[in-house]
Structure 1
Amino acid sequence: MNDRPITILCLAGYVKGTRFLTAAKDLGATVLLLTKEKLAAEEWPRESIDELLLMPDIHKRPDIIHAVSYLARGRQIDAIVPLDDYEVETAAMLREHLRLPGLGETAARYFRDKLAMRTQARAAGIPVPAFSPTFSYERLAEFMERTPPPWVLKPRSEAGAMGIKKLHTPGEVWDWLGRLGDEQSFFHLEQFIPGDIYHVDSLVYDGQVLYAQPHKYARPPMTVAHDGGVFVSRTLPDGEEARAILELNERLLTAFGLERGATHAEFIRGRDGQFYFLEVAARVGGANIEDLVAAAGGLNLWEEWARMEIAHAQGQPYTVAPTRHAYAGILVCLARQEWPNTWGYDDPEVVYRVDKKHHAGLVVASADAGRVEWLLDSYARRFADDFLAVLPALDKPE
């Protein structure tokens, strides 16, 4: 057991994971934050950051390796933690270089590269939509011949629904590949499966899923991202849907070899009744999902992740115990107003309000799952009238 102060290097390309930073500092860790120069003036919890380190680009090799290796000359770094999707592979590469525990480069691909995810899941017997790489044109043509459209052309390493194209004919596919040029190998094609989409948000320690909360989206995230609308999700009561995705989630995380951390996995139930794996990330879900989990379970995923990193570095056991057993739901949308006023939504079940420029959002919680669902339906209609703004979907992050 090691009782010396633990040093954690956090990587952030966006302002995320601030609760991880504050929790790690509160637990006695030395917290280093490496981020982009253009984010230097953002509202980081500076009282919880021992050193704020800046680079023009935190993904560029070999610059990032040289910078962190230089940093390590005067500091014993115990853990490297990515605070958003785009730093997962960078963190893995740095762990490999510094020989630190945690996801290495090969395993990190299972949580970033959608083609690697599907290949590994299929090898483990987990159902996935039919898919094809874009490397071989002959293989791709055979896939389109035997797999009914529509299809989706997906970037292998973007986050969420970013950059996804829904296509209906082989001609559209070949046209898009032509536009992509040398970038086309960074995409894959898969069958579009309509259906209900679910997510499971988990905590894993020593390779075991210690906590997992199942949820169901009201509308598919890809539809919200491309067509606009209110993002809505809710916790699922115990039943066939919840049990099915929790079982798939455990099989998935075991097959992918995650030792510890927070995860966000998504599944779809097709019209055939089958549940399929869609994607998984080795980080806390976006769109304020940590607040949804906290409202239902009484624990914050970022804070728990900080606890487990410190426990692991000190050779101590880690346990997690939810303090609440409620149902919760979340609504978030882009807002026309710079700072939308949600105080007209004043039911006692409202437990959290999103405080972000040009975003409206609420979390509701109740012991009654039906009450949560009713509030979400009612509020979503009102949000569309009161706040909703629609912007074109991005192909790449800004």
Structure 2
Amino acid sequence: MYSICLGRREEVLKALKSNNIGVIAIVDRRYPRPSSKFYNYFHHVDDISDFEIVRAVCEPYIKNLNICSVIAPGESSILTAGQLRDTYGIQGRGYKISLSLRNKFEMYKVARKNNIPVADTLFVSLLEDAEMFIRTKLKQGKTCIAKPVSGFGTSNVMKITSINDWYQYKYLYLTDKTFFMRDGVILQEFVEGAEYHIDAVIQNSKIQFISISRYLKNNLGFNSHKMVGSVMLLESDLEYSVLKKFNEDVVQAFGICHGVIHHECFLNELGNPILGEVAIRPGGNYIPEMIENATNINLYDIFVKVENQIPVAIHHQKLNESHGYVHIPIHRTGNVKKLVPSDDLLKLEGIIDVRYEISEGQDVSEARYSFQRAGVILGKAKSSTELQKILKKACLLSYPIIESEE
């Protein structure tokens, strides 16, 4: 049996191999080739979101090998995977459901149809309508966000607090030729409130596992605060039951029968949940590692099993400690003169691991997106509130000394 894996996420490739499934790895040319020990066949393609390009590469394998699944471990290949499954009769989610979990405008239409609360949203078809939408919100004392219909994370997402912000973003929209902007942009009213992520496993239309976490700071403000991380909620946390029920409603609304989801949402000022977005893949950054530290559940392995219809049995665990992580930030461009020694950070109460991804003497660029980092700090504490304080302190103490060339 072979799986076509549309992406280079090595944890997923490794999980396929450990489940005795052969791997045909198809990777966008913008990214490097993964280690050869994780695949049987490999191809670079110019654009992994282009179905016809990927189809031309995959068709000979589909005709000559026993293909059991098509896996999309990243956002840009989700629709391609759905089209391949539909075209060749391969088990798994087809294009229609995949579209509602990839195209943000379609996602919000499905949500509204099923009474899932979402922020007021405008698909920008006319620039004049966009400006009117923003001016109306600003007049009401509100702000907006602009983001690509087919984006992911905070890439090309901007908070609009003035009409000049919109003019700046409009220029980006009209001149950016990357795939981020290809399907257009949407405007939304900005939700004032805490941001959460819910990571869940669904099989046979049943939620087998759920983890609910609160971001240390809202990701949209990353460029000003440079703090990326989250802490897992305990069942005793006040928000837990509200968000658990909200996630059940979201899974039902989108008709998700199987998959690992990363669901982002907010609690507004009234404590009501508002949908951010739903991704049909494991969460990014160190979210899977954080969850494994707390539960011994490897989301990458579960993801592979569920996508290949291998039964999983996950026993409910009531956590007694909150686990979390925070990135070590790259706060400026320049040469790394000194990193805070890992041993110094490990002396802080609650810190259990420190991992650097850069080294002294290395030239780095200031992080522009929330997935860019110097490293990560992992921690645990008796409560999510206590851990949040610990990780914020550790982050502030971890700033590398970076000497600018100016």
TM-score normalised over the length of structure 2: 0.82
> Aligned-residue CA RMSD in angstroms?
2.9
CA–CA distance in structure 2, aligned partners of residues 374 and 173 of structure 1: 35
Listed as ranges, the gaps of 5+ residues in structure 2 are 176-180, 359-372
Match of 1:133 among 114, 123, 145: 123
Matched, 1:237 2:231: no
Q: Does structure 2 conserve the Cα–Cα contact (< 8 Å) formed by 1:213 and 1:235?
A: yes
2:187 is aligned to 189
Quick one: which amino acid aligns to residue 49 of structure 2? H
Change (3 A) 1:74 1:215: same
Match of 2:3 among 1, 8, 11: 8
Deviation at 1:141, TM superposition (A): 6.4
Deviation at 1:245, TM superposition (A): 1.3
CA–CA distance in structure 2, aligned partners of residues 68 and 102 of structure 1: 17
Q: Does structure 2 conserve the Cα–Cα contact (< 8 Å) formed by 1:262 and 1:305?
A: yes
Deviation at 1:371, TM superposition (A): 4.8
1:360 is aligned to 375
Quick one: which amino acid aligns to residue 227 of structure 2? V
Change (3 A) 1:369 1:222: closer
Match of 2:212 among 214, 221, 228: 214
Listed as ranges, the gaps of 5+ residues in structure 1 are 1-5, 391-398
- What does residue range 314-393 of structure 1 map to in structure 2 within 5 Å? 317-321=311-315, 325=319, 326-335=321-330, 337=336, 340=339, 341-347=341-347, 349-357=350-358, 359-369=374-384, 371-384=386-399, 386=400
Question: Which secondary structure state, in structure 2, belongs to the residue aligned with residue 343 of structure 1?
Answer: helix
Change (3 A) 1:27 1:176: closer
- What does residue range 26-41 of structure 1 map to in structure 2 within 5 Å? 26-37=18-29, 39-41=31-33
CA–CA distance in structure 2, aligned partners of residues 352 and 24 of structure 1: 27
CA–CA distance in structure 2, aligned partners of residues 244 and 387 of structure 1: 42
Match of 2:83 among 86, 90, 93: 93
Q: Does structure 1 conserve the Cα–Cα contact (< 8 Å) formed by 2:326 and 2:392?
A: no
- What does residue range 154-165 of structure 1 map to in structure 2 within 5 Å? 154-165=147-158
Question: Which secondary structure state, in structure 2, belongs to the residue aligned with residue 62 of structure 1?
Answer: helix
TM-score normalised over the length of structure 1: 0.84
- What does residue range 217-296 of structure 1 map to in structure 2 within 5 Å? 217-224=215-222, 226-238=223-235, 239-296=237-294
Q: Does structure 2 conserve the Cα–Cα contact (< 8 Å) formed by 1:197 and 1:217?
A: yes
Change (3 A) 1:8 1:351: farther
Q: Does structure 2 conserve the Cα–Cα contact (< 8 Å) formed by 1:297 and 1:324?
A: no
Sequence identity (%) = 17
CA–CA distance in structure 2, aligned partners of residues 178 and 54 of structure 1: 32
Change (3 A) 1:50 1:131: same
Worse-matched range after superposition: 210-219 or 367-376: 367-376
1:59 is aligned to 49
Change (3 A) 1:323 1:129: closer
Q: How many residues align?
A: 374
Deviation at 1:60, TM superposition (A): 2.9
Quick one: which amino acid aligns to residue 261 of structure 2? T
Q: Does structure 2 conserve the Cα–Cα contact (< 8 Å) formed by 1:133 and 1:185?
A: no
1:167 is aligned to 160
Question: Which secondary structure state, in structure 2, belongs to the residue aligned with residue 344 of structure 1?
Answer: helix
Quick one: which amino acid aligns to residue 315 of structure 2? A
Q: Does structure 2 conserve the Cα–Cα contact (< 8 Å) formed by 1:298 and 1:323?
A: no
Match of 2:17 among 19, 25, 28: 25
Worse-matched range after superposition: 142-151 or 18-27: 142-151
Question: Which secondary structure state, in structure 2, belongs to the residue aligned with residue 126 of structure 1?
Answer: coil
Q: Does structure 1 conserve the Cα–Cα contact (< 8 Å) formed by 2:328 and 2:395?
A: no
CA–CA distance in structure 2, aligned partners of residues 36 and 89 of structure 1: 14
Q: Does structure 1 conserve the Cα–Cα contact (< 8 Å) formed by 2:338 and 2:401?
A: no
Match of 1:202 among 192, 200, 203: 200
